[in-house]
Every structure is written in structure tokens, then in C-alpha cells.
Chains A and B, each alone.
Chain A
Amino acid sequence: ILNVEQSPQSLHVQEGDSTNFTCSFPSSNFYALHWYRWETAKSPEALFVMTLNGDEKKKGRISATLNTKEGYSYLYIKGSQPEDSATYLCAFSNAGKSTFGDGTTLTVKP
């Protein structure tokens, strides 16, 4: 079983703060890296799929970068809002198999 690590495990910030999380994964046999947002009592919701080294993706205030050579990806949230409170998961994939990290739980205080 592959090792996918996310840090920090949890994060508490004030509304308006910018924040970032890290996902570390094996640098060999890379196929794709996924980021998901998971709110309590809901299903994981896809944020980004990244496949190329150096990829940068952006969706509103959320962006992500990918370094496949060193095996890490960063997720950034600019100007956090209370509605950003959720667990953010990354998943390292080959064509079919997917290994998830344990997630970073973000709490944004008004």
C-alpha cells in the first residue's frame, strides 16, 4: 500500500487568512493527483485533477501546484471564508488504483 501523507492534520484560521496544505506522495510511477473537498455528512467533491509536473490549477480562491519529481502538491486558499471549513483530501492514483491521504481539516472562524 502506497503512503500518501497530508499536513497539517488540522488547521484553525481566522476569516480572511490565507492558508496552504501539503500532500506528499511517491515520486515514482506517477499518473495523477486529485484534490477533494469533503464537508461533514456529504460526499467528497472533486477540486482538481493534476497530471503533469509543474501543473497549476485554480478555482476561485483555491489553487494547487504539483511537483511530481519530488512528490508533493500544495493546496492554497486565499482569503479563507467560513464556508471553506471542510476536510481537504488528496489522492495519488495510477490508472485505476487510488490511495488517499488522511486529509487536512480546516476550520475558519468568523
Chain B
Amino acid sequence: EAQVTQNPRYLITVTGKKLTVTCSQNMNHEYMSWYRQDPGLGLRQIYYSMNVEVTDKGDVPEGYKVSRKEKRNFPLILESPSPNQTSLYFCASSLWRLADTQYFGPGTRLLVL
């Protein structure tokens, strides 16, 4: 089944403890992206990647890192999480840039205490 998967789906952590949220797609998509969703603020883009080894900042990249070493994986790294990074995170992918349909993963709900 063609899909975007994220792990973990739910995570409670403490301030300063490094964490990684994984994202993987099995559709051979070139483009991948991370978003966060906060009440009253809508979906905001964190980082995106147009291809392997090519990443760029979205609108809210502070406090996050990403890497794209393989086409199928696009992990989101929080080196030192803070409570303001408590949010619902979505990974998404599309075949080629944003001229194609974007498919979203199931979401990861993160709580930073």
C-alpha cells in the first residue's frame, strides 16, 4: 500500500532530551516536507526537501534539523526540545515538487514537559 509513515505516533518527553521523529514513504517521491499544526495557527511548514541531500527551510525551522540521506526517509530532529515545540507534526511527500498531489502521514503528537 502506498503510504507515508511516521514514528512514533505519540511522544511525551522532557525539555532538552534529544528526539527524532521518523518519516518514510514508499512511493519513490522526490519531495518531502514537515509541518506542524497548532490550534489557531494552522499548518506551518518546518523544512522541506526537493531531493536527496537537498533540504531547505520552511516558515518555522528554528529548533529543528532534518536530513535526507535516502529518498524514502526524511527524519525530523529536535536537538533540545522545548515546551513551545509541543505540537502535532505531519510529514508529507509528493512525486515532484509541489506541482503534484501531496500525501500526508498520520501525524505525530508531541508533548514536551
- Give A contacts to B, CB under 8 Å: 1, 31-32, 34, 43-46, 49, 51, 89, 91, 93-103
Contacts and interface: CB of A to CB of B under 8 A. Distances in A.
Interface in B29-48: 31, 33, 35, 42-45, 48
B98 A95 contact: yes
Contacts of A32: 98-99
Secondary structure of the B side of the interface?
Answer: strand
B104 A44 contact: yes
11 contacts: A31-B98, A34-B98, A43-B106, A46-B102, A89-B42, A95-B98, A96-B33, A97-B48, A97-B56, A98-B58, A100-B43
B51 to A, nearest CB: 10
A44 B90 contact: yes
Interface of B: 31, 33, 35, 42-45, 48, 50, 56, 58-59, 90, 97-107
Given A97-B48, A101-B42, A45 B97 contact: no
A46 B103 contact: yes
A95 B58 CA distance: 12
Given A98-B58, A99-B45, A49 B50 contact: no
Given A49-B99, A51-B99, A101-B42, A95 B50 contact: yes
A96 B97 CA distance: 6
